[in-house]
Amino acid sequence: MKLTALQLLLWQSALWLVQAAAPLRPTSSLPQSFLLKCLEQMRKVQADGTVLQERLCATHKLCHAEELVLLGHALGIPQPPLSSCSSQALQLTGCLRQLHSGLVLYQGLLQALAGITPELAPTLDMLQLDISDFALNIWQQMEELGLAQAVPPSQGTMPTFTSAFERRAGGVLVASNLQSFLELAYRALRCFAKP
């Protein structure tokens, strides 16, 4: 009898440890229409960002963002946090706020790249417009859920590019960082999909 009780206790302890170690599922979900619109907007932004990277690579031979990372630190190109969107700490309110703040940050970074080259101006404008639409979509969803703050976040301090090379290298880094940001955002938003 004691052996059975001990086995049951060990089994319950093991089950509790497995449940505690499992990734958190969000306690809230988002409307499917919002998630589909976000997916469409992400694809547009990713496509625009890819075009920007490819043109900078083809025209100016700036093909490897990894090689420019040190320059990115020197230029002060910030990256938005997505800690509330990670599988370990997933929470709807924090994640939507970080996604919105990140998109606002990328709007500012793209504005700082203005004048990168005349050929890339239309691509940069389209990317800014698509990011602006995406940020607005998230903000409207936050308002519908009662999660929006009274004042939307500001862009913060943006880097100053003093040469054409810095602006182009910054373009490669911003486009590369944006792609990584969107991949994490996509994974997080999928977790909030209604079952």
The domains located in the chain, with CATH, are: 28-192 (1.20.1250.10)
- The pLDDT score that the predictor gives to residue 28 is 62
When pLDDT is averaged across residues 42-49 and rounded to a whole number, the result is 94
Please state the rounded mean pLDDT for residues 24-38.
Answer: 75
Which residues, in sequence order, are bridge partners of residue 143? none
**Stretch 45-59: mean pLDDT, rounded?**
93
- % helix, strand, coil for the chain, step of 5: 70, 0, 30
pLDDT surpassing 50 at residue 26: no
Q: CA-to-CA distance for 157 and 159, rounded, in angstroms?
A: 7
Predicted TM-score (pTM) of the model is 0.81
Q: How far apart are CA 3 and CA 70, in angstroms?
A: 61
Residue 8, pLDDT score: 40
Residue-level pLDDT at 185: 92
Instruction: Give the pLDDT of residue 89.
Output: 76
Q: How far apart are CA 80 and CA 178, in angstroms?
A: 9
Enumerate residues 6+ apart whose C-beta is below 8 A from 79: 177, 181
